[in-house]
Structure 1
Amino acid sequence: MLNKGDFHIHSNASDGKYSPTEIVILSKINKIDVISITDHNTTAGIEEAIEAGRNYGVSVVPAIELSTRFNNESIHLLGYFKNSLYQIDTFQEVLMLIKSHRYKTIRKILGNYINLERKDGKLSVIEGINLLRCFGASVVLAHPMRISSKNINQILRFPFDGIEAKYSYTDFNTSLYFINIALTKFSFYTAGSDFHSIKNKNSKHSFIGSVYLNNSEIEFFLKNSGYVALNYL
């Protein structure tokens, strides 16, 4: 039974301090049953995390945090992969190009897969949603409570599968507000500590498991996002 889940964690595959294996061990110590390592624009830590999860008894849902742009604001999308499509060469090539900011080349590639909205600059929110969906992910709006008041209402009109309603250092009323939105407009909500380091001084990030989904919330998330069939859960 999965009783405690943290679905927003960063490893040293992007800007976190610890390896995927170390994160799994920290999760086990802190009685976290299921996690997602959501590194920025990379899936490089997923396979190590899954293997470590098997060894230490922690379930791992493969995921990513994708950078997009809306109205001059950085908007992050969490993609939770329901299959192994994230491993194919095309998706991995796009992720490498995102890191090097080669957006014209990205759009030449993506033109064969998704409808494009912009001609240059970072991927738009809808391009990011379509990209993640194309490669087998359910798409979640990351930390909506950090999005500016001028943009949040427009952002919530996009066709996400869910939103990250429970987040690091977010008070109960704010979490409840976004939970209600998630249950009204989308299919589910997630929770994430946005963990980077034990010694992290960033007030936006907290420790693994300090924010989590409980047993019934995990079941709701897995059922409504299509993860019930994953053989390592």
Structure 2
Amino acid sequence: MSNDENSIKTQMDSDKGFQSKRKVLVTLSILFIGIKLSGIKIIEANTFILKLSIANEGAIGQLIFFALIYTFIRYFTYAHKYHVKLFNSWSQNLMADDFFIHLDSDGRQFYGLIPEKFPMNDGYYNFIKKDSNSITTRYECKGLFRRYLVYDWKKGDDYETDKASIHEYIKLKPNWLKWINNKIRKPGLLMPKVIRKELYYQFRSYIQDREQLDLLAPYLLAIFAICCQFYSSEIINFLGIT
């Protein structure tokens, strides 16, 4: 596990706001699933034991359902920064893949998508070989098929940032239909390779990093609880609950 991943784990474990929202979301999800699938009813109350008879017990489920939706949204707002951190963690591993950058056997030239898209005229290798220069490359996703390489470079005492798109499009209509060309396009041949690499490193992060499961499990449980609101009878039949 990298230092970045250890740092993320420590921050997640020590973040009281994140942990409290996570626990509330899990608790509400389990409670709601129990109400929908087992038909829990409170029928009576006395001094020592609480048993309430409720004329419309469905109202309790509705209240918990709306509380679940609210807590789901609140959990996402607290968890978002960790989604970003985990994205940065696995995308840095992606940037180190040979498809994006590798040095030839002679150590004289860089190859891959990062040097190819580098915006400086003197080229990636000529720029990086100077001791006073440095480059950091980040991966950025927007939408389904928009991907960018973000270059943060230092040249002497100057710092700059530039972005290069790595999504290419193939036009589907003749050139004279300019508006349609701008609106109706399909991804170019490069994108399947980029997406394939992206999915590989993302999936590897999901199965190797405990933080991913800690972050995503409450979502899955909450989504299942929400499904119970609309498809409880189908779920009961599917699970064979009587």
TM range (shorter): under 0.3
TM-score, normalised by the number of residues in structure 2? 0.23
Is the radius of gyration larger for structure 1 or structure 2? 2
Structure with more contact order per residue of length (Cα contacts < 8 Å, sep ≥ 6): 1
TM-score, normalised by the number of residues in structure 1? 0.24
As a proportion of its length, which structure holds more strand? 1
As a proportion of its length, which structure holds more helix? 2
